[in-house]
Amino acid sequence: MSDIESRIADTMLAKLRERDTSLGPDDLARPIADLDLDSLDMVELHQQLERELQVKGDLAETAGFAFLDEFTTYFVKLSSRG
């Protein structure tokens, strides 16, 4: 796992644990619909990842994600563009 992927995973796990402190890294692979996240959580996660990585994403794209893995792919790609 790269440094950026690790920071993304940490940010996502922190968001999950705001809802359920028992969740761990394995839960990042579960469908978002199975997690206790609402639409505002998704916006908050988007903003926190932007802030962590100092990039600007498109909320309209991330709002449609079904898996948290998609955030990783999306923000790694954004970060690589510099």
Partner 1 sequence: MSAGIVDIATAKPGRTIGNDHFAPIGLTDAWIRRRSGIASRSWLPDQTPLAEVAAEACAPIVTRMDDPSSIGALIVVSTSVRQRVPGVAQQVAHLLGLGPSVLAFDLNAACCGFVYGLAAGLSLCDGDPARPVLLCSVEAMSRLVDRTDRQTACIFADGSAAVLLAHRPEFAGLCRTAGCDGSGAGLMRETDEGGIHLEGAQVYDRAVRRMTEAARYLFDHGPAPTVLVGHQANGRILEQVRTFTADLGVPFVNRIEHSGNTSSATIPLAFAEELDAGSLPAEGRLGAVAYGAGEAWGGVSVDYRVPATTAC
**Can you give the binding site for partner 1, defined by CB under 8 A?**
38-40, 42-44, 46-47, 51, 59, 63
Residue 11 Cβ, how far from partner 1 at the closest point, in Å? 12
- CB nearer to partner 1: give 1 or 66: 66
- CB nearer to partner 1: give 18 or 80: 18
Contacts of residue 66, defined as CB under 8 A and 6 or more positions apart, other chains included, come to 31, 32, 33
Residue 80 Cβ, how far from partner 1 at the closest point, in Å? 23
Q: How far is CA 61 from CA 22, 25, 48, 50, 69, in A?
A: 29, 24, 16, 14, 14
